[in-house]
Amino acid sequence: MKLISTFKFSKTAFLSMYIVGNAEQLSYFSEVEIYYTNFELQLLLFKDYLGEGIKNLQTILQKTLNQELYINEKLLLNDLGYEYMTYLKNISDDNFSVEDNTAQYLLWETVTSYDKSNCSWLYNKNDDVVFEVTPSYKYFYEENVEIHSFDKFLEEFESYAVEFLSMDQCKKWLNKLNCLIKEISTV
């Protein structure tokens, strides 16, 4: 793996993008892994095509800069991740009448083989942009989930990370993303 870019929240917290495989010639379809790191905590947030990962980040980041992603408190009773997991639980129980009030804030969703499956979010709050990583329940369609009960998951639900970005940081991130997009567009 080769590090191609980092995006800092603070001195200790950042996103890092790694190319898996041939890093000499970046393309839209290059495989990328994006991690959130803060001290000893490292979470895999995204593993797919480079173009998809950076386009998602660019699109949602631009919306936060335009202040389009304030959370509608009337629609959400709990935090984004909690609400999203409740929505997915309804869908897995064949209740298709529920609405997903969280979709516009979802940046990436990663189901991993270890315990840190997660969803990452970007949204506006006051004068800041909030980046949040929440746990994801990965056992919706498994037969034997007594060991991993959804109710217990919700009881213990707590964000893995919450970071704040200033509008200036967002602009710097967008400039960096635009440079990456140009680099992969020319290949």
Asked if residue 94 is part of any domain, the answer here is yes
Rounded Cα distance between 159 and 60, Å, is: 20
Asked if residue 167 is part of any domain, the answer here is yes
Percent of all residues in the chain with a pLDDT value above 70, rounded to a whole number: 89
Higher pLDDT, 11 or 138: 11
Asked if residue 26 is part of any domain, the answer here is no
Structure token pair of residue 65:
């800069």
Asked if residue 38 is part of any domain, the answer here is no
Asked if residue 151 is part of any domain, the answer here is yes
Range of the domain at 116: 51-183
Asked if residue 120 is part of any domain, the answer here is yes
Measured in degrees and rounded to the nearest 5, phi and psi for residue 76 equal -110, 125
Alpha helices by DSSP H, listed for the chain, are: 50-65, 80-92, 150-155, 167-185
pLDDT above 90: residue 21? no
Asked if residue 134 is part of any domain, the answer here is yes
Q: What is the pLDDT of residues 146-173, one digit of tens each?
A: 567 888 888 999 999 999 999 999 999 9
Asked if residue 67 is part of any domain, the answer here is yes
Specify the number of domains making up the chain.
1
Rounded Cα distance between 111 and 84, Å, is: 14
Distances (CA, A) of 63 to 28, 79, 107, 167: 22, 20, 12, 12
